[in-house]
Structure 1
Amino acid sequence: MRKFFILIILLVSGLSVLSAQELNFTVKVNIQRLLTADPAVFNGLEQSLKEFVNSSKWTEDEFRPEERIKGNILLTINGEATDKSQKTIPNVYTAELAIQASRPIFGSSKETTLFNFIDREITFKYEQFQPLQFSKTLFNDNLSQVVAFYIHIILGMDYDSFALNGGSDHFQAAQNIVNVAQSAAAVQGRGWSSIEGNNRNRFWIVENWLSPRMKPMRELQYVYHRLGLDQMSQDPAKGRSIISKTLENARKSFDTYPNTILMQLFLSAKSKEIMEIFRMGTPDEKDRVADVMSRIDPTNANNYRQLRQ
């Protein structure tokens, strides 16, 4: 379904049909917080990371340049890692990874955010000009594993947005990365275990996507995007109605399993967009959506109440 959707865009626009890799990400490495280590160590890391993300082959599908998933990665190096006695661990660093990805909206020049997350639990070993290498079966380095994990999560979300459960293979690939990391004696840092991160880490992100109990969230990913947003250019009222109903179904999932990481990821990506969509809605739509969103996102309840004004 994803390929069919993009093919329609290409036929309409007359864009190139040349094949390319799957991702088109802007990649930045920020070392401004690095106070003690030699910043020259990271010369070349930004380019290596960019090539790792954009030039690796992540799927078996062929992507045209115009099909490539757009996004941004910002790796912020916090400093040198220390052991329990606060001694510096040679060539090991702590970092944060901010990652965002988007998807086109059918019949529009606009894009919608799919994923928007900051992983604050990254520790990795790195020496100057060290290549980034990823293996499906072997643990090479933590940075490569972490980035590959999020790439497969984004691919899974993208494919899910075009076909119901279309991203399962990529979520399973992300699960395999977690399994490999857990079994590696040399793994650094947190984020791979079920007992860390207050149910907000990498383990729980992919666990949620694959869990049968989170089936309504998988359905939300498809219905919201393919049946809702992609309808807006042709029939805004129909698109809003579909989105309103799928948000109500998502609320049922929230009532059963409140504050899951999937719901937090959805709200991080969609909260403002939902406000924009329903500003043009009927009074009844505004009331229903304000009620639903205030329940599943109580910290922003005041914002949703503005829909009624």
Structure 2
Amino acid sequence: MNKPVKYCFVLCLMFFLLKVSSAQELQCSVSVVSPSVQGTNKQVLETMQSAILEFMNGQKWTDNVFSPEERIQCSIMINIKEISSVDDFSGTIQVQVRRPVYNSAYSSVIFNYLDQDFDFSYVEFQPLIYNPNSFDSNLVGVLAFYANVILAFDYDSFSKMGGTKYMEKAEDIVNQAQNSSEKGWRSYESTRNRYWLVENYLNEYHRPLRECMYQYHRLGLDKMSDKPEAGRKEVLSAIERLQKVHRSKPGSFAVQVFFDAKSEELINIFSESFSMEKGRAIEILSEVDPANATKYSNSLLDNQ
């Protein structure tokens, strides 16, 4: 190899390695909409959307190195329902996280949550800066909170209790936000908000749910392409763990969050089961997710 070609090759290799080593953890799509607000300044919303996109995807959230193809697939949709002043907004934020299934083109939704309490200020072109040691902005705080929740759910699906570190970081943000004026951070405001999301997942009585996340995805779904029966058996065993949580904490917020992401997928998984396994799945699902009991029964029995 002559010197110019070799030099060019080394530069390209260094650039590639730098790009890979600096790849961040999240590949987050962002949408900011305001269908119910008349006369919205679309330019501000577009600028806000770009700023949030850069914030989520440009931060280094962990000490781990992610290659571009390993980045966590997620999405954020902000629906602005009220603009009380030039810089003050109120609405909802929906966060969804998807996980690739081994040896397939399928991605499984592992978190799908609509947060109804999202009031924030945003000054156009002002950079969004995250300081892990202080709570300076509700917009930044909520985004950083969900970035860590995204990591926690993803890591839990690949290793048993693997997301604890990131759920604890989300808990730190909750603690810092206790004196903020915005809603969603305090225990007494609701039984289903950011406070209770981290409380549930870090509380020992929800350990079976987090163990379910690992067994369901790593031992169940990841086997489905090669050994569908063995994979379904692991998924069934995984959701049996949820009975422990349900019987000690009926109506658990965290369990409902699980089924908000998984109810349709579970129907698809067990629609191919033999009758005995299908019957057991209906029995468990109807107990731990009673709100969808009729849907499980009708959908799975129709496929007998």
Calculate the TM-score normalised by the size of structure 1. Answer: 0.87
Aligned-pair CA distance for 1:125: 1.4
How many angstroms apart in 1 are the aligned matches of 2:28 and 2:216? 24
Does residue 162 (structure 1) correspond to residue 158 (structure 2)? The answer is yes
Name the residue aligned to 1:125.
121
How many angstroms apart in 1 are the aligned matches of 2:186 and 2:40? 29
Does residue 35 (structure 1) correspond to residue 52 (structure 2)? The answer is no
Aligned-pair CA distance for 1:134: 1.2
User: What are the Cα deviations for residues 136-183 of structure 1, in whole angstroms up to 9, with x where unaligned?
Assistant: 111121011001111101101110111111111000000001011114
Aligned-residue Cα RMSD (Å) equals 1.6
User: What are the Cα deviations for residues 70-128 of structure 1, in whole angstroms up to 9, with x where unaligned?
Assistant: 111111111134xxxxxxx6632212101111001112111100110111101111222
Aligned-pair CA distance for 1:290: 0.6
Please say if residues 294 and 304 of structure 1, whose CA atoms lie closer than 8 Å, have aligned partners that are also in contact.
yes
How many angstroms apart in 1 are the aligned matches of 2:161 and 2:241? 17
Name the residue aligned to 2:7.
none
Runs of 4+ more than 4 Å apart: 36-40
How many angstroms apart in 2 are the aligned matches of 1:68 and 1:146? 21
Q: Give the structure with the larger helix fraction.
A: 2
Name the residue aligned to 1:10.
none
How many angstroms apart in 2 are the aligned matches of 1:90 and 1:28? 20
How many angstroms apart in 2 are the aligned matches of 1:274 and 1:41? 41
- The 5 A counterparts of 1:160-239 are 160-183=156-179, 187-197=180-190, 199-239=191-231
How many angstroms apart in 2 are the aligned matches of 1:90 and 1:236? 55
How many angstroms apart in 2 are the aligned matches of 1:76 and 1:265? 20
Please say if residues 93 and 114 of structure 2, whose CA atoms lie closer than 8 Å, have aligned partners that are also in contact.
yes
SS in 2 for 1:237: helix
What 5-or-longer segments of structure 2 have no aligned partner?
1-15
Aligned-pair CA distance for 1:224: 0.6
SS in 2 for 1:192: coil
Calculate the TM-score normalised by the size of structure 2. Answer: 0.89
Structure number with greater Rg is 2
Q: Say how many residue pairs are matched.
A: 283
Please say if residues 175 and 206 of structure 1, whose CA atoms lie closer than 8 Å, have aligned partners that are also in contact.
yes
Which residue identity is paired with 2:53? K
Name the residue aligned to 1:8.
none
More displaced stretch, 222-231 vs 248-257? 248-257
How many angstroms apart in 2 are the aligned matches of 1:44 and 1:202? 26
Does residue 135 (structure 1) correspond to residue 131 (structure 2)? The answer is yes
